[in-house]
Chain A
């Protein structure tokens, strides 16, 4: 676990704090934001870190399954 991994969780947590109060599905919104703005490697690290049991907001935890990983086809392409 690196310092940077923790930071990714923290950043996702901030997104969860925002999307929690929006209408709609917050976990998908967090993942959508991550897919649009994070590099594939950051997304990989994020998902791996959660899989390794990192503590995180439930929305963040839930978001992981919507995060697109590099081997998947880009959603908007």
Chain B
């Protein structure tokens, strides 16, 4: 859907929420608005744009520019319409002689201190100051040249008031000469983003926007480069460098961000097929007009020179790549896959679908496995992140779905955040949560590290339970014990929505002294008082919500932890109403979708087991082939089978398993043992170092489809430019399938969605028409819920009665000991995304050029490690080297790093331990030793050499 640019209507002040409606007249037009609405917004609703500069509906009214004055009958003077609330029967005039005179005077003052270089200004054509000068009819500026902020020099020499541009941020420029000090940027930083990096320093004529301290630049300040300030700036003071470079955009393509599981809606502002800027959509239901540095700015990878646009093949993984035609590459791939099956059996091959690709693409890849290859050997990278969520929530609630939408956070009274670092991993959600925390909601954080959320400015006291990695179940079970022992549970809810006897049995289990806070303190390091305080706060908050991340799932007891979370929500009745719930924060953009689409080896789309006869027969009918009733291999099982010589071929779309999966050595030896590895990606990634076929992929800007975010919201992805590689990813999969005899004839992803809707009850009502009309819908979307389901389990659990599961703590086998005395836990940071394939190819590198090891100063001192030293991190799996950062953010005995950079390969160190129920790897706990180092580890050198060799490319042979 291409729209011509119609500036997103700005109502001047945010919408008010009220059940009371107020009626008034604006310029003779009757209008009804909720009580608490500003006169400015009421006028906008009536279709009248009151001139304004400091007001925007992104932030609350400020009343500083005095341009929006109006006259109201019965009121004295000329009140600012942005700060004046409506009243019943009000009669407002937005244009009178008095008002016109005042506005001209105001504009004249503004313009007297503004450069008049409009024709060459980057905001030319998109400048609110320019628009307002026009709107108020300003025709002359009577002031003589005098003191100002914009001229470099005055008659006497350099102008002491002039400040040069701040170009320290790679994505936008701050030009103080053009600033009108409306303070929109400062307020957006506070209210929308919640970082408080910007301020107005000085007073009167000396007032200036400043990032951090006087000595700071935008880059050195606390600024997280979310761009909210750029979005609200009415002039060219804060503006995207791309706009400076290219000019104003001419059309908009509405689409969805391809980074984290928040799934922000974006307007891609285009000029031709070139993206000028990405602007978060105000009508985006996940993000409500906000974004982070990745979504707004880090999309340059789509046109990066590293992108591979041609198919390539090679006999052996030690050969250089040979550029070939699509026909040659697909023939080579199909022949080898079929040969592997002929030699080693139908189940000797498999696929890995991508949580970064669209639902339609994922659906096709799993269909290729089941219907074309004839095996259920399909898995997805959700295996290594949220598979325990699926298992745990399905067991307790009856569906693996997260329970609430993101809007729900606006009504929560307390958020319990477990094993998640939202300000880095899910930044837009973090901003929405922080807004609620500033309004007074409570916060409890259960995490080994002191995450940034705990340092939210202007919130109350947050409670941090810094547990030892691997003890989630112990602490959560102990919290449950306190709730039961102190009778803080919601008896009515349990009796009506769950099984009371089952609860009593669980209560008996809980009351055993081994789950007491004192006992658990010994295991977890969390003070007993902290456990009690958390239990009381969570149970007594009227509406308490739980948000959790991979710090919950990526453990040997990941599934048990999810179930203990579900137990807490059930016993306190925190399910089914806004502001409560169990909300998994999904890692990648389409983790939810890839699971929904049947990527797992044991289930078809919509989470129906392959042994379920009715479902299998349905797919046999629609796909026209017999299907296997037996579960296939999960990713870790694929590697084990490969090493046993029984798994010989893999088609891997949009995943970099070598970098993202644990125990890299194990993964690379498994891949090295295979006959045919097909990688489909934008770049030659780490996995392609072990591949025989490379099929170039397309970026999210180059294709149509849908992503499903963490709140089950199905969002449209729309093609903004022609795929540089020639095909959208679903087309490549179709070509490969047809080489193997599939006869697929899809001509557009909407046809794939129709097939999904036809075969999957929870998607029965979904169509591209519906999505175009509604913007997005949350599944289940069917006859019972034609417009989707924002909240799950409102009147009863999906499975009927909620199910309490006993949650016994079992210590992981990965324990620190004399050889490996520290526990390594891993995570990610704001500016980089996952394996970094995308973000490392953007200017986000200025924030995070390499992975760093966080270590407590006392642990560092014991080992003779100083800040910035190169250190060796070794586990029983392997070793790597990286730089140390001394910080008290991690407790003694715990070290932390990210896995964004292939030169570090943090996963060389992680082990093959995994969750008992789902084989989700235990990324979050690895026993390690840290020691000073003077260079790369042996592995890094070997791998570096192989990587260099296996990325050689020979040009296409001459015809």
Contact = CB atoms under 8 A, between A and B. Distances in A.
Q: Do A and B come from one complex?
A: yes
B916 interface: yes
Contact of B632 (A33, A39, A76): A39
A7 B643 CA distance: 13
Given A18-B916, A36-B631, A76 B612 contact: yes
Interface stretch (B162-170, B312-320, B803-811): B803-811
A40 B602 CA distance: 12
B347 interface: yes
Given A4-B640, A14-B916, A76-B613, A38 B810 contact: no
Contacts of A74: 611, 629-630
B42 interface: no
Interface in A1-48: 2-4, 7, 11, 14-15, 17-18, 20-23, 33, 36-42
Interface residues of B, number: 38
Contact of B917 (A3, A4, A15): A15
Contact of A76 (B609, B641, B810): B609
Contacts of A37: 602, 631, 634, 917-918
Nearest to B813: A10
A42 B630 CA distance: 11
Interface string B610-650: 01110010000000000001111110010011011010000
Which 8 A-B residue pairings sit nearest by Cβ, starting from the closest?
A14-B916, A21-B808, A76-B611, A4-B640, A17-B810, A21-B806, A74-B629, A77-B613
A75 interface: yes
A4 B509 CA distance: 35
A36 B394 CA distance: 14
Contacts of A41: 347, 641, 646
Q: Which of A38, A39, A40, A74 has the most CB of B within 10 A?
A: A39
A42 B347 CA distance: 12
Contact of B808 (A20, A36, A76): A20
Contacts of B632: 39
How big is the A interface, by class?
A: 20 to 34
A22 B330 CA distance: 50
Contacts of A15: 916-917
A18 B633 contact: no
B505 interface: yes
B919 interface: yes
A70 B631 CA distance: 11
Interface of A: 2-4, 7, 11, 14-15, 17-18, 20-23, 33, 36-42, 70, 74-77
A41 to B, nearest CB: 7
B560 interface: yes
Contacts of A23: 505, 806
B169 to A, nearest CB: 48
B806 A22 contact: yes
A36 B610 CA distance: 9
B612 A22 contact: no
Interface in B494-521: 505, 509
B158 to A, nearest CB: 72
Nearest to B636: A7
Contacts of B634: 37
B556 interface: yes
Contacts of B611: 36, 74-77
A39 B325 CA distance: 37
B843 interface: no
A38 B629 contact: no
13 contacts: A3-B640, A3-B643, A14-B556, A15-B916, A15-B917, A18-B808, A18-B810, A18-B916, A21-B806, A37-B602, A39-B601, A39-B637, A40-B630
Interface of B is mostly: loop
B411 interface: no
A70 B611 CA distance: 13
Contacts of A40: 630
Contacts of B869: none
A11 B916 contact: yes
B912 interface: yes
Nearest to B644: A4
Contact of A39 (B347, B557, B917): B347
Contacts of B631: 36-39
Interface in B773-813: 805-808, 810
B916 A17 contact: yes
Interface string B557-570: 10110000000000
Nearest to A14: B916
A27 to B, nearest CB: 15
A7 B633 contact: no
B602 A33 contact: no
A31 B799 CA distance: 23
Given A4-B643, A22-B805, A70-B630, A36 B556 contact: no
A18 B609 contact: no
A32 to B, nearest CB: 12
Given A14-B556, A18-B810, A74-B629, A42 B637 contact: yes
Nearest to A33: B917
B815 to A, nearest CB: 15
Given A11-B916, A36-B602, 13 more contacts: A11-B914, A14-B810, A15-B917, A17-B808, A18-B557, A23-B505, A33-B917, A37-B602, A37-B917, A39-B637, A74-B611, A74-B629, A76-B612
A33 B145 CA distance: 82
A77 B617 CA distance: 10
Contacts of B916: 11, 14-15, 17-18
Q: Which of B509, B631, B914, B918 has the most CB of A within 10 A?
A: B631
A53 B219 CA distance: 63
Contacts of B505: 23
Contact of A21 (B347, B377, B509, B646): B509
B644 A2 contact: yes
A58 B418 CA distance: 34
Contacts of A4: 640-641, 643-644
Interface in B794-844: 805-808, 810
A36 to B, nearest CB: 6
Contacts of B643: 3-4
Q: Which of A15, A23, A41 has the most CB of B within 10 A?
A: A41
Nearest to A16: B916
Contacts of B560: 18
A39 B644 contact: no
A39 B633 contact: yes
A8 B641 CA distance: 12
A18 B917 contact: yes
A42 B602 CA distance: 14
Contacts of A39: 347, 377, 601, 630-633, 637
A42 B637 CA distance: 9
Contact of A7 (B347, B612, B640): B640
A14 B388 CA distance: 14
Nearest to A4: B640
B166 to A, nearest CB: 54
Nearest to B345: A41
A15 B633 CA distance: 18
B525 to A, nearest CB: 22
A45 to B, nearest CB: 9
Contacts of B807: 21
Nearest to B805: A22
A37 B914 CA distance: 14
Contacts of A7: 640, 912
B839 to A, nearest CB: 34
Q: Which of A2, A7, A17 has the most CB of B within 10 A?
A: A17
A77 B629 contact: yes
Q: Which of A4, A15, A20 has the most CB of B within 10 A?
A: A4
Interface in B892-940: 912, 914, 916-919
A54 B377 CA distance: 27
A50 to B, nearest CB: 17
Interface in B164-200: none
A43 to B, nearest CB: 9
Nearest to B602: A37
B507 to A, nearest CB: 13
